[in-house]
Amino acid sequence: MSHLRHIGAAIGTLVAILGSIMFISWKYFSGSRRHSEEEYSFLQESQPREKQILVLGLDGAGKSSILNCLATHTVKHSTSPTQGFNAVCIHTEGCKLNFLEIGGSCNLRSYWNLYLNKAHMLIYVVDSADQERLPLAGQELHRLLKEDLMLPLVLLANKQDLDGALSISGLHRKLLLHDLNYEQKLFLMATNVTEDGTQVPKNIHDVKELIIQLISQKR
């Protein structure tokens, strides 16, 4: 048992170090630098705008599968839960979207709020069919929103193709979204990434269009 405790402590330390490294990298690449007006004008014309998008949700919600669809336009049939961090970059016209997914296991959720102040948007993914853990998903979401009520939120009700999945209206009630005193844009969308499908579902394309539209409005 002592040996197992040492292993657990080592893993916890490794996750903490990795979290710190990712946090420093996130701040470095997304942080603003001071330039003269001439330099700033030149940079605006010569470089695409970069936007940071944070992707969160409990483990097993389907965050990685959705990101893979958004980035590659393909369906990945087998995706392991993210154990740490997953970064994905998508280039759009005049804008570079940097997605940072953080794993949803218990030991990683404490890091979530560290990344909010550098994000331009929050995507929160919920497993609509996992009704047992929906209260926990809602609790973690409300905890995040207490940190930043101004961050645009795209809430994805994922796995809508599974039996027992709650509808959009049912999920709205279950997550107590009516209790939110939210001061920024909030969108709730249904998604699914089918296990046997080869085509990316239309709802994933709709999500991507929404993200691009919302992020283009952020200055």
57 is in an annotated binding site: yes
65 is in an annotated binding site: no
Could you give the CA distance from residue 65 to residue 127 in angstroms, rounded to a whole number?
Answer: 12
208 is in an annotated binding site: no
CB atoms near residue 196 (< 10 Å): 6
76 is in an annotated binding site: no
8 is in an annotated binding site: no
* Whether the Cβ atoms of residue 151 and residue 119 lie closer than 8 Å to each other: yes
83 is in an annotated binding site: no
Helix axis angle for 202-216 and 63-72, nearest 10°, is 80
As a dihedral over the C-alpha atoms of residue 12, residue 17, residue 19, residue 24, rounded to 10 degrees, the angle is: 170
63 is in an annotated binding site: yes
31 is in an annotated binding site: no
51 is in an annotated binding site: no
82 is in an annotated binding site: yes
Structure tokens at 111: 């890091």
13 is in an annotated binding site: no
3 state SS of 82: coil
Which DSSP state fits 175? T
Could you give the CA distance from residue 183 to residue 186 in angstroms, rounded to a whole number?
Answer: 9
Could you give the CA distance from residue 11 to residue 24 in angstroms, rounded to a whole number?
Answer: 20
- Torsion sign, CA atoms 169, 146, 215, 135: negative
Residues within the annotated binding site? Answer: 57-64, 82, 104, 158-161
Residues within the annotated binding site for Mg(2+)? Answer: 64, 82
Residues within the annotated binding site for GTP? Answer: 57-64, 104, 158-161
